[in-house]
Amino acid sequence: MIDIKSMTQEEMSAYFQENGQPSFRAKQVFQWLHRGVTSFEEMSNLPKSLRQMLSEQAYITVPTVERKQVSKLDGTIKYLWRMRDGNCIETVLMRYKHGNTVCVSCQVGCNMGCVFCASTLGGKVRDLAASEILDQVIFTQKDSGEEISNIVMMGIGEPMDNFDRVLRFLELVNHPDGLNIGMRHISVSTCGLVQRIDRLAEMGLQLTLSVSLHAPDDETRSRLMPVNRAVGVEKLMDTCRRYFETTGRRISYEYAMIDGVNDSDAQADLLASLLKGQPGHVNLIPLNNIEESPLKPSRRVRQFQQRLESHGVTATVRRKLGGDIDASCGQLRKKQMQGSEPCGRKGTSL
Ligand code: SAH
């Protein structure tokens, strides 16, 4: 069976031609799918015979709402979606003055092993298909009735570890016949897989790359993020510099502030020195508490920010949204996994 929503319009065109159909059908089907139809029957401008053919050869991915939590504090909505194979993923809808932003997942679980992150606790179960990443935008929009103007790939999973499907998703969501969300309204966050960052740079996309740095020295970063043991901060920063030179897009560095681990003045000084000579921006994230973890939120966020600014580095503190609804980083899926119903343990692929 074909996962038709993962196809580009050109691929659909070729598919229809192979099946003796006019290629303009591709645009019609593409538009229906990106509007969130749940069956081929709904595609009312297609002949019945074609709808029949499609339902025999292809399927439409349709996630169902497993859980939905709405923050009383700020209206943030967190969805736990169940997919065709029973696995669950999270999506968060955040309301900002500049528009609604959706935070999407790209894998079921994650293999990167960052010690402060709830998404990685059970490892990676599987990659998401492009359609399943796209569905998070389509169905969040459909369910909430809110138009989405921005996307951040900061949910569960490592986008650079699911590179081809993530790129396909970007192409789909950017398409004028689909959701038509501009690259400048999309951020992709990575823990720093350098070869993939180089590959992404070559594509010259106008998206914003966020790099999860979290520490300026190898000792601390390797302790927090196993991915650093293979690469190191210096090589990562070289890659980031190249990324900027190739794309002209400044990188946003994410830095989760952890008490007594990465929040000293000396580390702020070192961080500032790493950013010398390249326009970047530091986003300080107050650590979200994970139960059972010895890591605690820093009490020096403002001091750290001021110290960076004294070196001429722009640093913002991320506003916390959805604090009452487990809105961060794999927390809802984790809760579900620990509950009675298994969610995300099956490992079957599409
Ligand atoms: N794998 C990607 C994207 C997913 S996580 C990446 O590593 O960038 C999105 C961001 O949330 C990352 O910067 C991640 O390090 C951060 N994060 C994860 N757990 C966190 C926590 N408990 N508190 C604060 N930030 C966290």
Measured at the alpha carbon of residue 72, what is the angle toward residues 67 and 78, in degrees to the nearest 5?
30
Q: Is the pLDDT of residue 341 over 70?
A: no
Tell me how far apart the alpha carbons of residues 81 and 67 are, in angstroms, rounded to a whole number: 7
Residue 291: what pLDDT?
75
Percent above pLDDT 70 for the chain:
93
Ligand 1 center to residue 117 CA distance, Å?
Answer: 6
Q: What is the largest CA-CA distance in the chain?
A: 69
- Pocket flag, ligand 1, residue 288 (CB < 6 Å): yes
pLDDT at residue number 328: 64
124 - beta bridge partners?
Answer: 109
Q: How confident is the model at residue 345 (pLDDT cuts 50, 70, 90)?
A: very low
What is the mean pLDDT of the segment spanning 84-93? 96
What does the pLDDT look like over 115-138, one tens digit per residue?
A: 999 999 899 999 999 999 999 999
The whole-model pTM stands at 0.94
Residue 332 in this model has a pLDDT that exceeds 70: no
Mean pLDDT value of segment 29-46: 98
- For residue 237, give the 3-state DSSP assignment: helix
- Laid out side by side, the sheet with 150-153 consists of 64-70, 77-82, 88-96, 99-103, 150-153, 186-190, 208-212, 251-257, 280-286, 315-317
Element (H, E) at 204: none
What percent of the chain shows pLDDT beyond 90?
84
Ligand 1 binding pocket includes 263 (Cβ within 6 Å): no
pLDDT of residue 97: 86
Residue 338 has pLDDT above 80, yes or no: no
Q: Is the CB of 212 under 6 A from ligand 1?
A: yes
Is 298 near ligand 1, meaning CB less than 6 Å away?
no
- Average of per-residue pLDDT across 218-228: 98
Active site residue ranges: 90, 329
pLDDT (0 to 100) of residue 327: 63
Q: Average the pLDDT over 279-305 and give the result.
A: 91
- The minimum-distance atom of ligand 1 relative to the CA of 254 is 13
pLDDT number for residue 320: 77
